[in-house]
Structure 1
Amino acid sequence: MQLAEILRPDGVKVLASSPSKRRLFQDLAEMAGACWGLDPAKVNEALLEREGLGPTGVGQGIALPHARLHGLDRVRGLFLRLEKPLDFESVDRQPVDLVFCLLAPASAGVEHLKALALVSRTLRDPALCAKLRANSDPATLHTILTESGPRNLAA
């Protein structure tokens, strides 16, 4: 699996700010509707439900919100860079400015876990994150994510 398989150029955006995690999830849900044709209300509900199990802020300014949805045929991704970091209840208590959202089919097991591992491994690279934080063009951000990170995750 490669990030280019789950992240389309129109699934990458830069937001000046978001007032809350709840609003950020709504923004992601609207992106999922525009990019993948998903029902924004269902995406938002699924993200909020998953976040209720525990915060998806993994530290170092990175959040990996994710959810499983009925009607999805494969794992899909969305990426947001926030110009103003947002409190995300992260493990290190640092605000988040890089958000990679994964949406997986309700029945996805290993595929969902592989995608989470790939995104996590990609965003653990401090040099890559610095490049993401230094750019505001969505097309450039997409290129950085799909060409600079780990090419794939071994099965």
Structure 2
Amino acid sequence: MEMAVLPEVTQSTEEVTLEDIHLGDPAVNTAEEIDRLRRLIWRRRHLLIGKGNALPPAARGIVCDIDVGDAKPIAQWVRKVAPQFREKLSDLIEGLLGARIIKMSTSPWASPIVVIINKNGIDIRLCIDYRLVNSLTRLMIYPMPLINDLLEDLDKA
């Protein structure tokens, strides 16, 4: 089963300091390497989120191009939501819209949401059923970059 899960939104941000960044292994990395990486991350901290913050960093201007070949856009029907979860679903969607994690769409593509009940039986989680879209998607095969190459590129930026 392939479904995308949207994050829960809780607006809690604490200030993060340079000392909060724990990385490297003193048995493997020198203190200078750890300090260099810590300072590199600190210079790019605006790309990260604070401690305890459920909101991901903004990805403005990013375009995700999914190759579906010559498939025509598919708009699937909305699925029913149990009456006892409609208000919670509305609040969750309003929170995601307010946090600018999602936005209103005018796309000819539409996949249904699926409401999942959390283990506590009270809270809900919002998922999106992309199985049909995934079946039309052509896979793009690219080699994964090495972490050291990425760190070097970040250091040069």
- Which protein is richer in helix relative to its size? 1
TM-score, scaled to structure 1? 0.26
TM-score relative to the length of structure 2 = 0.25
Higher strand residue share: 1
Larger radius of gyration: 2
